[in-house]
Amino acid sequence: MFWPLAAIIVPLTGLLAKIEVIDGHKLPREGAYVLAPNHNSEFDPIIVAVATWRMGRAPRFLAKESLFRVPVLGWALRTTGMVPVARSASASSSRATLEASTEIVANGRGVIVYPEGSLTRDPDLWPMRGKTGAVRLALAGGIPVIPVAQWGTQQILPRYGKLKLWPLRRRVRVVVGDPVDLTAYAARDGQAAALIPATDVVMGEISRLLATLRDEPAPAERWDPSAHGQKETGRLES
Protein backbone atom coordinates (compact mmCIF):
# COMPACT_ATOMS: atom_id res chain seq x y z
CA MET A 1 0.00 0.00 0.00
CA PHE A 2 2.98 2.30 0.55
CA TRP A 3 4.17 2.55 -3.02
CA PRO A 4 0.76 3.51 -4.54
CA LEU A 5 0.55 6.21 -1.87
CA ALA A 6 4.06 7.34 -2.73
CA ALA A 7 3.05 7.69 -6.38
CA ILE A 8 0.53 10.32 -5.26
CA ILE A 9 2.25 12.03 -2.34
CA VAL A 10 5.77 12.38 -3.72
CA PRO A 11 4.81 14.41 -6.85
CA LEU A 12 2.43 16.63 -4.87
CA THR A 13 5.09 17.32 -2.26
CA GLY A 14 7.54 18.08 -5.04
CA LEU A 15 5.36 21.02 -6.07
CA LEU A 16 5.86 22.66 -2.68
CA ALA A 17 9.35 21.54 -1.72
CA LYS A 18 12.62 20.91 -3.46
CA ILE A 19 14.00 18.27 -1.11
CA GLU A 20 17.76 17.79 -0.91
CA VAL A 21 18.85 14.67 0.98
CA ILE A 22 22.36 14.81 2.42
CA ASP A 23 24.21 11.62 3.42
CA GLY A 24 21.22 9.45 2.60
CA HIS A 25 23.56 6.45 2.37
CA LYS A 26 23.69 6.45 6.18
CA LEU A 27 20.13 5.13 6.37
CA PRO A 28 20.34 1.31 6.48
CA ARG A 29 19.16 -0.26 3.23
CA GLU A 30 17.75 -3.22 5.13
CA GLY A 31 16.99 -4.22 8.68
CA ALA A 32 15.37 -2.38 11.57
CA TYR A 33 16.11 1.19 12.60
CA VAL A 34 14.60 4.10 14.53
CA LEU A 35 14.74 7.38 12.59
CA ALA A 36 14.76 10.38 14.95
CA PRO A 37 14.12 13.78 13.28
CA ASN A 38 13.62 17.29 14.64
CA HIS A 39 10.09 18.69 14.55
CA ASN A 40 9.43 22.35 13.73
CA SER A 41 6.45 22.23 11.35
CA GLU A 42 3.25 20.24 10.95
CA PHE A 43 4.42 19.59 7.39
CA ASP A 44 7.76 18.02 8.23
CA PRO A 45 6.37 14.46 8.65
CA ILE A 46 5.53 14.60 4.93
CA ILE A 47 9.03 15.86 4.14
CA VAL A 48 10.66 13.15 6.24
CA ALA A 49 8.38 10.50 4.73
CA VAL A 50 9.21 11.55 1.16
CA ALA A 51 12.92 11.70 1.98
CA THR A 52 12.71 8.19 3.45
CA TRP A 53 10.91 6.94 0.32
CA ARG A 54 13.65 8.47 -1.82
CA MET A 55 16.24 6.62 0.26
CA GLY A 56 14.53 3.35 -0.56
CA ARG A 57 12.70 2.59 2.69
CA ALA A 58 9.00 2.66 3.51
CA PRO A 59 8.27 5.38 6.10
CA ARG A 60 6.39 4.15 9.14
CA PHE A 61 5.59 6.34 12.12
CA LEU A 62 4.95 5.61 15.76
CA ALA A 63 1.26 6.25 16.50
CA LYS A 64 -0.76 6.38 19.72
CA GLU A 65 -2.19 3.00 20.60
CA SER A 66 -5.67 4.48 21.04
CA LEU A 67 -5.76 5.52 17.36
CA PHE A 68 -5.64 1.88 16.31
CA ARG A 69 -9.04 1.34 17.95
CA VAL A 70 -10.71 4.05 15.85
CA PRO A 71 -12.85 2.58 13.02
CA VAL A 72 -11.35 3.01 9.54
CA LEU A 73 -8.36 4.97 10.88
CA GLY A 74 -7.19 1.94 12.84
CA TRP A 75 -7.47 -0.20 9.72
CA ALA A 76 -5.47 2.33 7.71
CA LEU A 77 -2.74 2.50 10.34
CA ARG A 78 -2.44 -1.29 10.53
CA THR A 79 -2.50 -1.68 6.74
CA THR A 80 0.36 0.79 6.28
CA GLY A 81 2.42 -0.84 9.04
CA MET A 82 2.35 2.01 11.54
CA VAL A 83 3.57 1.05 15.01
CA PRO A 84 1.25 1.41 18.03
CA VAL A 85 2.65 2.65 21.31
CA ALA A 86 1.15 3.64 24.65
CA ARG A 87 2.26 7.01 26.00
CA SER A 88 1.95 6.22 29.70
CA ALA A 89 4.85 5.04 31.81
CA SER A 90 2.96 2.00 33.11
CA ALA A 91 4.05 -1.62 33.05
CA SER A 92 1.59 -2.26 30.20
CA SER A 93 3.23 0.56 28.24
CA SER A 94 6.63 -1.02 28.74
CA ARG A 95 5.30 -4.35 27.50
CA ALA A 96 3.77 -2.63 24.47
CA THR A 97 7.11 -0.98 23.70
CA LEU A 98 8.88 -4.33 23.91
CA GLU A 99 6.28 -5.96 21.65
CA ALA A 100 6.58 -3.12 19.14
CA SER A 101 10.37 -3.33 19.06
CA THR A 102 10.23 -7.12 18.67
CA GLU A 103 7.88 -6.77 15.70
CA ILE A 104 10.08 -4.11 14.10
CA VAL A 105 13.15 -6.34 14.37
CA ALA A 106 11.31 -9.46 13.21
CA ASN A 107 10.04 -7.70 10.08
CA GLY A 108 13.24 -5.74 9.43
CA ARG A 109 11.31 -2.49 9.38
CA GLY A 110 12.20 1.07 10.19
CA VAL A 111 10.08 3.43 12.25
CA ILE A 112 10.11 7.22 12.48
CA VAL A 113 9.86 8.59 16.02
CA TYR A 114 9.89 12.28 16.90
CA PRO A 115 11.86 12.36 20.16
CA GLU A 116 10.54 15.83 21.04
CA GLY A 117 7.02 14.40 21.12
CA SER A 118 5.48 17.56 19.62
CA LEU A 119 6.49 20.69 17.74
CA THR A 120 9.47 22.39 19.34
CA ARG A 121 8.70 25.22 21.72
CA ASP A 122 12.11 26.81 21.17
CA PRO A 123 11.48 30.33 19.81
CA ASP A 124 14.29 29.91 17.27
CA LEU A 125 13.13 26.44 16.21
CA TRP A 126 16.03 24.49 17.68
CA PRO A 127 15.18 21.04 19.08
CA MET A 128 13.78 21.22 22.58
CA ARG A 129 14.19 18.74 25.41
CA GLY A 130 13.45 15.23 24.19
CA LYS A 131 11.21 12.49 25.51
CA THR A 132 12.45 8.94 26.00
CA GLY A 133 10.16 7.09 23.55
CA ALA A 134 12.63 6.74 20.67
CA VAL A 135 15.45 5.57 22.92
CA ARG A 136 13.17 3.23 24.88
CA LEU A 137 12.04 1.57 21.66
CA ALA A 138 15.58 1.29 20.30
CA LEU A 139 17.14 -0.13 23.46
CA ALA A 140 14.32 -2.64 23.94
CA GLY A 141 15.07 -4.22 20.58
CA GLY A 142 18.74 -3.42 20.07
CA ILE A 143 17.73 -1.20 17.16
CA PRO A 144 20.04 1.55 15.86
CA VAL A 145 18.90 5.15 16.28
CA ILE A 146 19.56 7.27 13.18
CA PRO A 147 19.43 11.04 13.87
CA VAL A 148 17.99 13.29 11.18
CA ALA A 149 17.69 17.06 10.87
CA GLN A 150 15.53 18.94 8.39
CA TRP A 151 15.42 22.68 7.70
CA GLY A 152 13.31 24.75 5.35
CA THR A 153 9.95 23.10 6.00
CA GLN A 154 9.01 25.97 8.31
CA GLN A 155 8.99 28.27 5.27
CA ILE A 156 6.23 26.15 3.70
CA LEU A 157 4.14 25.72 6.83
CA PRO A 158 5.28 27.80 9.82
CA ARG A 159 4.79 26.25 13.24
CA TYR A 160 1.06 26.52 14.02
CA GLY A 161 0.77 28.85 11.01
CA LYS A 162 -0.83 28.79 7.55
CA LEU A 163 0.36 26.91 4.49
CA LYS A 164 2.36 29.07 2.07
CA LEU A 165 1.85 27.86 -1.49
CA TRP A 166 4.02 30.51 -3.14
CA PRO A 167 6.76 30.48 -4.19
CA LEU A 168 6.64 26.85 -5.26
CA ARG A 169 9.46 24.37 -4.62
CA ARG A 170 11.04 25.99 -1.62
CA ARG A 171 14.38 24.47 -0.69
CA VAL A 172 14.24 21.91 2.11
CA ARG A 173 17.34 20.05 3.23
CA VAL A 174 17.36 16.75 5.11
CA VAL A 175 20.62 15.45 6.56
CA VAL A 176 21.08 11.93 7.92
CA GLY A 177 23.58 11.24 10.68
CA ASP A 178 25.53 8.21 11.81
CA PRO A 179 23.83 5.75 14.18
CA VAL A 180 24.01 7.02 17.75
CA ASP A 181 26.16 4.87 20.01
CA LEU A 182 23.94 3.88 22.94
CA THR A 183 25.89 0.84 24.08
CA ALA A 184 26.70 2.50 27.41
CA TYR A 185 22.98 2.50 28.24
CA ALA A 186 21.95 -0.90 26.87
CA ALA A 187 22.31 -2.79 30.15
CA ARG A 188 19.88 -0.40 31.86
CA ASP A 189 17.42 -0.04 29.00
CA GLY A 190 14.28 0.27 31.13
CA GLN A 191 15.63 2.63 33.75
CA ALA A 192 15.03 6.38 33.74
CA ALA A 193 18.64 6.84 34.84
CA ALA A 194 19.66 5.44 31.46
CA LEU A 195 16.81 6.61 29.22
CA ILE A 196 17.11 10.30 30.06
CA PRO A 197 20.86 10.71 29.37
CA ALA A 198 20.60 8.44 26.31
CA THR A 199 17.82 10.65 24.97
CA ASP A 200 19.99 13.70 25.60
CA VAL A 201 22.75 12.13 23.51
CA VAL A 202 20.31 11.60 20.63
CA MET A 203 18.99 15.16 20.89
CA GLY A 204 22.55 16.43 20.89
CA GLU A 205 23.24 14.66 17.60
CA ILE A 206 20.06 16.03 16.03
CA SER A 207 21.00 19.55 17.15
CA ARG A 208 24.51 19.12 15.77
CA LEU A 209 23.14 18.06 12.37
CA LEU A 210 20.70 20.98 12.35
CA ALA A 211 23.54 23.37 13.14
CA THR A 212 25.30 22.25 9.95
CA LEU A 213 22.18 23.05 7.91
CA ARG A 214 21.66 26.42 9.56
CA ASP A 215 25.38 27.26 9.57
CA GLU A 216 25.22 28.50 13.14
CA PRO A 217 25.90 26.92 16.53
CA ALA A 218 23.09 25.25 18.42
CA PRO A 219 22.19 26.64 21.86
CA ALA A 220 24.32 25.32 24.68
CA GLU A 221 21.18 24.32 26.58
CA ARG A 222 18.05 22.82 25.04
CA TRP A 223 14.73 24.55 25.53
CA ASP A 224 12.71 23.14 28.44
CA PRO A 225 9.01 24.04 28.09
CA SER A 226 8.28 23.43 31.77
CA ALA A 227 10.93 25.95 32.77
CA HIS A 228 9.13 28.56 30.66
CA GLY A 229 5.62 27.77 31.84
CA GLN A 230 4.65 26.12 28.55
CA LYS A 231 2.61 23.02 27.79
CA GLU A 232 4.52 20.39 25.85
CA THR A 233 1.55 19.49 23.65
CA GLY A 234 -1.11 21.49 21.84
CA ARG A 235 -0.82 24.93 20.30
CA LEU A 236 1.51 27.51 21.75
CA GLU A 237 -0.23 30.14 23.80
CA SER A 238 0.54 33.77 23.07
For each of the domains in the chain, give its residue range(s) and CATH number, in order of start: 2-223 (3.40.1130.10)
Task: Note down pLDDT in tens along the chain; length 238 residues.
Answer: 566 667 777 888 888 999 999 999 999 999 999 999 999 998 998 899 999 999 999 888 877 666 677 776 667 667 766 777 665 555 555 566 667 777 787 888 889 999 998 899 999 999 999 998 889 888 888 889 999 999 999 999 998 888 888 888 899 999 999 999 998 888 765 677 789 999 999 999 999 999 999 999 999 999 998 888 888 776 776 4
CA–CA distance, 192 with 51 (Å, rounded to integer): 32
Q: Is 94 exposed, middle or buried (0-12, 13-18, 19+ CB in 10 A)?
A: middle
Q: What are the residue ranges of helices labelled H in 131-222?
A: 133-141, 192-214
Cis upstream peptide for 167 (omega within 30°): yes
